[in-house]
């Protein structure tokens, strides 16, 4: 069985944009699983993403207020086709991230995180994959708005970063 997924983070609606890009909504509608690594900012975004997702996993970020406390954890763990995922908003500085992740998230195959708005795809010494989808609404110093999509097929993980240039938004 193949599971399709979308990874997103740092949506910051409605401050950074009025809505998510149409291409991202199309990916959400098509995916088996939607994973959001925090900084939703408003509950309407959480409700909309959950309402359009077949399955969703999410955590709250540093910009998510107390209204998120009863809805989302700070850390989530779940499995997709026997791959063990951990989901968190912040992982600290880029330097040493892989080694810190190994220590903080043992028994994890894939760590999804956000916060920096910078896409990240690396492998820790343990073999754990670290993924940050960036932001589809606030690119900061990045040339494009970003999110990730991919598949898990019999524990094989395939991921691509979707890049949306500002002119296409």
Q: What tens digit of pLDDT does each residue of 14-32 get? A: 988 899 999 999 999 999 9
| Separation between Cα atoms, residue 141 and residue 64, nearest integer Å | 22
pLDDT (0 to 100) of residue 107: 96
Q: How many structural domains does the chain have?
A: 1
**Listing from the earlier edge strand, what are the strands of the sheet with 83-88?**
75-80, 83-88, 110-112, 129-132, 120-123
Task: Provide the 10 A C-beta neighbour count for residue 3.
Answer: 16
Q: Give, as one character, the DSSP assignment of residue 36.
A: E
Q: In percent, how much of the chain has pLDDT > 90?
A: 94
Task: Please state the rounded mean pLDDT for residues 129-143.
Answer: 96
pTM exceeds cut of 0.85: yes
CATH of the domain at 143: 3.60.21.10
| pLDDT of 168 above 90 | no
Q: Which residue has the tokens 């589809």?
A: 136
Range of 21's domain? 2-168
């Amino acid at each position: 069985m193949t599971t399709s997924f979308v990874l997103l983070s740092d949506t910051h609606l409605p401050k950074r944009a009025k809505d998510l890009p149409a291409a991202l909504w199309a990916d959400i509608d098509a995916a088996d699983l939607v994973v959001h690594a925090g900084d939703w900012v408003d509950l309407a975004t959480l409700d909309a993403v959950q309402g359009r997702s077949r399955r969703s996993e999410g955590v709250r970020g540093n910009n998510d207020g107390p209204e998120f406390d009863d809805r989302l954890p700070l850390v989530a763990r779940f499995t997709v086709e026997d791959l063990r995922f951990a989901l968190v908003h912040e992982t600290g500085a880029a330097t040493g991230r892989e080694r810190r992740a190994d220590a903080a998230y043992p028994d994890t195959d894939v760590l999804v995180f956000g916060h920096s708005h910078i896409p990240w795809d690396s492998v820790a010494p343990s073999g754990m994959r670290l993924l940050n989808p960036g932001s589809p609404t606030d690119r900061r110093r990045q040339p494009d708005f970003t999110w990730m999509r991919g598949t898990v097929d019999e524990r094989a993980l395939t991921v691509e970063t979707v890049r949306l240039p500002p002119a296409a938004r």
